[in-house]
């Protein structure tokens, strides 16, 4: 099972480590399964930018970024080179070690799970 460390731009939220994330799942699905707050409006179909995250480690263990995803990242708040959409980050390696930073959700209008 993959290990994902979730850090938060809002430092008042403690780091969460998920050690049993399944291959084939998206990072958005992992946040839902483990009750990690990440807004998402479109239901995980790459039609908005509310599930914007930063992948700081383990990018090679995730599905490659698409042109459509890049277009939506351009609309996100404070995009960086390591920006991704959690709904499009499918875990490809069951032994992956991934580190994600979740931007401050207070600045994002979106549905909570």
Domains, the chain, ordered by start: 2-107 (3.10.20.30)
Q: CA 45, CA 87: separation in Å to the nearest integer?
A: 7
Give the CA angle between residues 89, 65, 87 to the nearest 5°.
30
Block mean pLDDT (10 aa), the chain, length 113: 96 96 96 93 86 97 96 92 97 97 79 50
Please check whether residue 46 is in contact with residue 88, taking contact to mean a CB–CB distance below 8 angstroms: yes
pTM of the complete model: 0.91
Report d(CA 101, CA 7) in Å as an integer: 5
Tokens of 1: 């099972």
In the chain, the N- to C-terminal Cα span, in Å, equals 23
pLDDT at 81: 95
């Amino acid at each position: 099972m993959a290990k994902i460390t979730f850090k938060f731009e809002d430092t008042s939220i403690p780091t969460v480590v998920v050690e049993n994330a399944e291959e084939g799942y998206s990072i958005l699905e992992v946040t839902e399964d483990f009750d990690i707050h990440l807004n998402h409006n479109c239901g995980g179909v790459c039609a908005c930018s509310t599930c914007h995250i930063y992948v700081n480690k383990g990018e090679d263990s995730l599905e490659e970024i698409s042109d459509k995803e890049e277009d939506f990242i351009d609309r996100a708040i404070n995009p960086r080179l390591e920006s991704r959409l959690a709904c499009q980050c499918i875990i490809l390696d069951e032994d992956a070690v991934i580190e994600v930073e979740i931007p401050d959700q207070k600045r994002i209008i979106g549905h909570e799970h």
